[in-house]
Amino acid sequence: MAYPSQLGFQDAASPVMEELLHFHDHALMIVLLISILVLYIITTTVTTKLTNMYILDSQEIEIIWTVLPAVILLLIALPSLRILYLMDEINSPHLTVKAIGHQWYWSYEYTDYQEVAFDSYMVPTQDLTPGQFRLLEVDHRMVTPAEAPVRMLITAEDVLHSWAVPALGVKMDAVPGRLNQARFIASRPGVYYGQCSEICGANHSFMPIVIEAVPLNFFQDWLTLVLEDASL
């Protein structure tokens, strides 16, 4: 959960998000070193009154400033490609949930069960209870088991949407007529908030996403209650 005046990312709640945070720090350190080097060269070039004829025409220094950027790009590209493959890898998910974007709410279908489907609307400000977050709370949370791989099938019914939960490192476009796939593993029980991240109309800001990750036995109890309500 983000907090006021936060400058960095939210705390990672999934293995993929932890990898993304590490890659962010890795890339930022490289950018910082390059910036310091460039600033030093500019400062010395402006302030010095000395000249050196060998710097004006030198094969060695040309080789260095050609090879060095290529090495730096490799140091950034290889970890990035590794994370991309990790994000796309889906092996034996324990649960599959289909998220459908509408103007302006989300629908969830637990495709492993016939009767488990519901709409998730934002709770209006006047209906909030103490402890709930304005513009982020919904009337029906998406409940998933913690420490279990979950596959998300994401689509839309009307216009482009984007299903995004920053703490879990998940962001996938919801495109009408197309079924996109994503996955996440909640590292620990908790409530994780997200929002539609694609401008989708007048009420784009009012279709939040709330995932409640619970231990497996609590998820089974919740699922039993939902199935009993659906059978009535």
Residues spanned by the domain of 225: 95-231
The reply to whether 161 and 68 lie within a common domain is: no
Q: Which of 88, 115, 133 is the last residue of a domain?
A: 88
In this prediction, residues 157-184 reach a mean pLDDT of: 94
CATH number of residue 102's parent domain = 2.60.40.420
> Structurally, how many domains does the chain consist of?
2
pLDDT score, position 42: 92
Q: Which of 67, 88, 109 is the last residue of a domain?
A: 88
**Confidence check: pLDDT of 178 > 90:** yes
Whether residue 198 is contained in a domain is answered as yes
Whether residue 53 is contained in a domain is answered as yes
0.95 exceeded by the pTM? no
In this prediction, residues 195-221 reach a mean pLDDT of: 93
Vertex 190: Cα angle to 1 and 118 (nearest 5): 100
The reply to whether 112 and 227 lie within a common domain is: yes
CATH number of residue 60's parent domain = 1.10.287.90
Average pLDDT, the chain: 91
Whether residue 103 is contained in a domain is answered as yes
The reply to whether 79 and 101 lie within a common domain is: no
pLDDT score, position 60: 81
Whether residue 10 is contained in a domain is answered as no
The reply to whether 38 and 54 lie within a common domain is: yes
**Confidence check: pLDDT of 231 > 90:** no
pLDDT score, position 46: 87
The reply to whether 106 and 208 lie within a common domain is: yes
The reply to whether 203 and 138 lie within a common domain is: yes
pLDDT score, position 1: 74
**Confidence check: pLDDT of 232 > 90:** no
pLDDT score, position 173: 94
The reply to whether 53 and 24 lie within a common domain is: yes
pLDDT score, position 83: 92
Whether residue 2 is contained in a domain is answered as no
Tell which residue, 96, 106, 82, has the closest CA to residue 209.
Answer: 106
The reply to whether 191 and 117 lie within a common domain is: yes
The reply to whether 102 and 72 lie within a common domain is: no
The reply to whether 65 and 129 lie within a common domain is: no
Q: Which of 70, 88, 106 is the last residue of a domain?
A: 88
The reply to whether 27 and 73 lie within a common domain is: yes
Residue pLDDT, tens place only, 58-104: 788 888 889 999 999 999 999 999 999 988 888 889 999 999 999 99
The reply to whether 45 and 105 lie within a common domain is: no
